[in-house]
Structure 1
Amino acid sequence: AGAQVSEVFNAEQFIAFALDGIEDLSIMQRVRHIADALYNALPSPYPDAVRILCQMVHQIAPGFQAVALTEYIARYGQHDFDTSMQALSTMTSYGTAEFAIRPFLSNEQSRTISILLQWMQSDNEHLRRLACEGCRPRLPWGIKLSNMLQMPSPAMEILEQLKSDSSLYVRKSVANHLNDLAKEYPEAVLDWVATWSTDDPNVKWVIRHALRNLIKQGNPRALALHGVDHLAKLGVTRLKLTPTTIRQGDSLTISLAVISQDSETQPAVVDYRLHFPRANGSMSTKVFKLKTFSILPEQILEIVTTRAFKDLSTRKYRQGSYIIEILLNGNVAQSASFELIS
């Protein structure tokens, strides 16, 4: 694409550099590697290089190819703020600039926030999302923004503006940003979202997804914001794990019944917490969603689910004793154990 838009783009040099050792790199390492390859193939005056990149972005497939172009801006454009911001605003529609904006926020927070406040009012949903996602404190694969991890957050105006956005793409970003803050400041975030009107279904959706971890933890205030009573008259019976001994890679079936013990219909949030052994012999926990529903007076509702115990990049399942606790509206209702063998 570079050779198509500019005669000064050294395609041969770019290809040679880009292919050298790329197979051994992770996705984000490849992005940075390609950005360095672009640097070797583009003219040295930064504005000239950026003009070529902004033409290239229209020619390549959307996705991580375009993210590599934004990474060039992050790595080589810190000295020219205005040119870099204009480039990222162009490129983000083709490959999100959420990673590339972060060094600018680290180095020049106030100046960059002022740009994000402009972008949050854009007609372009990609720019509105970038205004929110780019300053997320704990963006996966992105550098942590410790200067944004405060309460009240420097991004509060952005989150307030975009909480009812018409685009689900943008609202997901708002919810994820709030979820990051809730991990550090649960009570402050709960105080904040409790002031929001839930008459707007878009705002209601954002609150539900923003508080998902607090709901998993059984936080009574988070549950109450969803109309769920932490002390509801509900019970669990017939909890069964099948089989009680499984091998690595096999699946476990979890079956149970939820019983209403009230004379009125009530909401129920059913999750399960898995206790599993770590390499050092201690136990770790992880909460998984099961089902959210309304249960009628004296109704009995059967729930069956399966879970495969295969090693993941983020979690290793080791042999030993495991415990599953059924969480009902945030409370431990029943528990059972099983063994994992190699």
Structure 2
Amino acid sequence: MADAFKLLINPETVAHTARHLRRAWRGFDAERFSAIALDGQDGLEFKARAHRLADALLATLPEDFDRACGVLETALAPPLALDADGEPVGLQGAQPQGVSGWALWGAGEWVARAGLGEPERALLCLREITQRFTAEFAIRPFIAQRPEAVFPVLERWTGDSSAHVRRLVSEGSRPRLPWGLRLQALVVDPAPTLPLLHALQNDGSAYVRRSVANHLNDIAKDHPELVASWVREHRVGASAAREALLRHASRGLIKAGHAPTLAAWGLAHGLDGGATLKLTPAKVVVGGSLRLDATLRSRARTAQALVVDYAVHHVKANGSASPKVFKGWKLDLAPGETRALGKAHSLREVTTRRLYPGRHRVELLVNGVAVAEAAFDLSA
């Protein structure tokens, strides 16, 4: 997988980029650009390949930053189209009409290196880049180092005609964007981004709304009460789209059983009744699959709105255990009803989780409260 990912920037990517930069500026030294971008590329992983592209741009674009941005912008492919739901079409693929796709990760890195002294011009260039790929990583050094210049622009961009640009407002300013520079000031105090999220949470593009949800989920990791309050306030009169956004935004807090968030969703009470959990087989090898069968029995006189998840307490290398919550079911349990639930759980290793042999405990969680548990033995 890692090898395949790094190959997204390859000699063809470099040649395609050089060709269109030469089209945009006849004086562009395509040979020097290619030599720098390809130097040692075989031994580089993806991010290093993108940074090597940025090195090549620094060495070959005009020294005047405004002029250099103009060359790059002229070389770009047309903006990516959006489907009926406002989702981008062909987000990662290169387009024959100009520079696009993964090469623009390197172009964004160039803007971040060369443009910190001219943030207004740099942001205009990132506005163009994000319409062909994304500039969510490249904009973060500007937010961290030049917030006074960036936030007024982000506020204007909440009304931009391009969904790509509106998404950049939310995605680029996420406090804990995966793979991105952590915006520690916003981790501590997310207040500067809240007006932006408020302006975008009813956006007509699902692409933008999903980013707002992920941004709020980031905030919830450090300020759960703020997000619980946000959900409670903005559920009032919410459309179906905003309701879905708020649900996605609070997913981590719901899994964690955060009481104010559960209350905001009408899930403040645990199960009024009983529950059982059965795991089969009792012994599983890494790479296999586990079957979870749960039964819920209501003793209530009214229907119960329930979110049913489960936590697997993974054994770590030192023998201790660490719980990981997985999504299960969302249901309404009728008065006196008995409901059977079943699910297969994969025990294949993934890049973010290594599995170790040992006895693993599984808890059934209803509205964040453990109501039943069972265990299985995992072997190599």
1:14: which partner in 2?
A: 33
> Counterpart of 1:195 in structure 2: which amino acid?
E
Gaps (5+ residues) in structure 2? 1-19, 78-96
Give the distance between the partners of 2:363 and 2:207, measured in 1 at CA.
34
1:148: which partner in 2?
A: 186
Give the distance between the partners of 2:352 and 2:246, measured in 1 at CA.
27
SS in 2 for 1:43: coil
Give the distance between the partners of 2:48 and 2:166, measured in 1 at CA.
27
Give the distance between the partners of 1:101 and 1:119, measured in 2 at CA.
13
SS in 1 for 2:234: coil
- Contact 2:287-2:347 at 8 Å conserved across structures: yes
Greater mean deviation of Cα atoms: 68-77 or 26-35: 26-35
1:98: which partner in 2?
A: 136
TM-score (norm 2): 0.85
Give how far 1:122 is off.
1.1
SS in 1 for 2:48: helix
2:373: which partner in 1?
A: 335
> Counterpart of 1:241 in structure 2: which amino acid?
L
Q: Is 2:65 aligned against 1:27? A: no
Give the distance between the partners of 2:30 and 2:158, measured in 1 at CA.
36
Select the residue among 16, 19, 22 that pairs with 1:3.
22
Give how far 1:259 is off.
2.1
Give how far 1:116 is off.
0.6
Give how far 1:195 is off.
2.2
> Counterpart of 2:257 in structure 1: which amino acid?
G
SS in 2 for 1:78: coil
Aligned length: 341
SS in 1 for 2:191: coil
1:235: which partner in 2?
A: 274
CA deviations 1:138-162 (Å, max 9, x no partner) are: 0011000011123451111101111
Give how far 1:177 is off.
1.1
Give the distance between the partners of 1:113 and 1:71, measured in 2 at CA.
20
Select the residue among 278, 302, 308 that pairs with 2:346.
308
SS in 1 for 2:233: coil
> Counterpart of 2:158 in structure 1: which amino acid?
M
Select the residue among 250, 268, 288 that pairs with 2:306.
268
Give how far 1:277 is off.
1.6
- Contact 1:137-1:177 at 8 Å conserved across structures: yes
CA RMSD of aligned residues (A): 1.7
> Counterpart of 1:49 in structure 2: which amino acid?
A
Give the distance between the partners of 2:164 and 2:342, measured in 1 at CA.
40
Q: 1:23 to 1:334 in 2, by over 3 A?
A: farther
TM-score (norm 1): 0.94
Select the residue among 259, 268, 274 that pairs with 2:297.
259
> Counterpart of 2:249 in structure 1: which amino acid?
A
Select the residue among 205, 215, 221 that pairs with 2:244.
205
- Contact 1:62-1:95 at 8 Å conserved across structures: yes
> Counterpart of 1:42 in structure 2: which amino acid?
L
Give the distance between the partners of 1:150 and 1:206, measured in 2 at CA.
23
Give how far 1:88 is off.
0.9
Give how far 1:323 is off.
0.7
Identity %: 37
Give the distance between the partners of 1:22 and 1:322, measured in 2 at CA.
43
Greater mean deviation of Cα atoms: 32-41 or 174-183: 32-41
> Counterpart of 1:213 in structure 2: which amino acid?
G
- Contact 1:271-1:289 at 8 Å conserved across structures: yes
- Contact 1:229-1:267 at 8 Å conserved across structures: no
Give the distance between the partners of 2:295 and 2:69, measured in 1 at CA.
61
1:76: which partner in 2?
A: 114
Give how far 1:37 is off.
2.1
CA deviations 1:248-279 (Å, max 9, x no partner) are: 11111111122222232221111000101222
CA deviations 1:72-110 (Å, max 9, x no partner) are: 101211122221111111111111111111101111112
> Counterpart of 1:221 in structure 2: which amino acid?
P
Greater mean deviation of Cα atoms: 295-304 or 111-120: 295-304
Give the distance between the partners of 1:12 and 1:125, measured in 2 at CA.
36
| Structural mapping, 1:137-216, within 5 Å | 137-151=175-189, 153-201=191-239, 202-216=241-255
- Contact 1:178-1:210 at 8 Å conserved across structures: yes
> Counterpart of 1:51 in structure 2: which amino acid?
G
Q: 1:333 to 1:33 in 2, by over 3 A?
A: same
Q: 1:305 to 1:24 in 2, by over 3 A?
A: farther
- Give structure 1 regions of 4+ aligned residues with deviation exceeding 6 angstroms: none
Gaps (5+ residues) in structure 1? none
Give the distance between the partners of 2:231 and 2:336, measured in 1 at CA.
33
- Contact 1:234-1:260 at 8 Å conserved across structures: yes
